[in-house]
């Protein structure tokens, strides 16, 4: 019973439900910040880094994803096609 509330089996493996809930709380903030950065003239990579930095306090899990994607973009890697185990499944 306890395990079913903390973790559940998804196609990509075990997903921490609490982390998934925290990740869903921040996309509106992240989108707003991303638009502001892009309208301010930052490149997409720079905007991802900036949003990751700004979200660290309020949404640390989402900030980590922004950093991860930004660093992958810098290396020329498409994160969604390479490491599906590190990302959350689509709803």
Q: Who wins on pLDDT, 18 or 84?
A: 18
pLDDT at 16 over 90: no
pLDDT per residue as tens digits for the range 31-84: 999 999 999 999 999 999 999 999 999 888 888 888 888 888 888 876 555 455
Quote the tokens at residue 79: 């994160």
54-83 burial string, b = 16+ CB within 10 Å, else e?
A: bbeeebebbbbbbbbbbebbeeeeebeeee
15 band by pLDDT with thresholds 50, 70 and 90:
low
pLDDT at 8 over 60: no
């Amino acid at each position: 019973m306890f395990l079913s509330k903390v973790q559940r089996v998804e196609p990509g493996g075990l997903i921490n439900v609490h982390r998934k809930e925290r990740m869903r709380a921040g996309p509106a903030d992240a989108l707003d910040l991303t638009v502001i950065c892009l309208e301010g003239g930052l490149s997409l990579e720079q905007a991802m880094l900036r949003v990751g930095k700004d979200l660290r306090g309020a949404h640390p899990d989402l900030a980590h994803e922004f950093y991860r994607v930004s660093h992958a973009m810098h290396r020329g890697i498409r994160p969604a096609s390479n490491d599906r185990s590190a990302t959350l499944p689509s709803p």
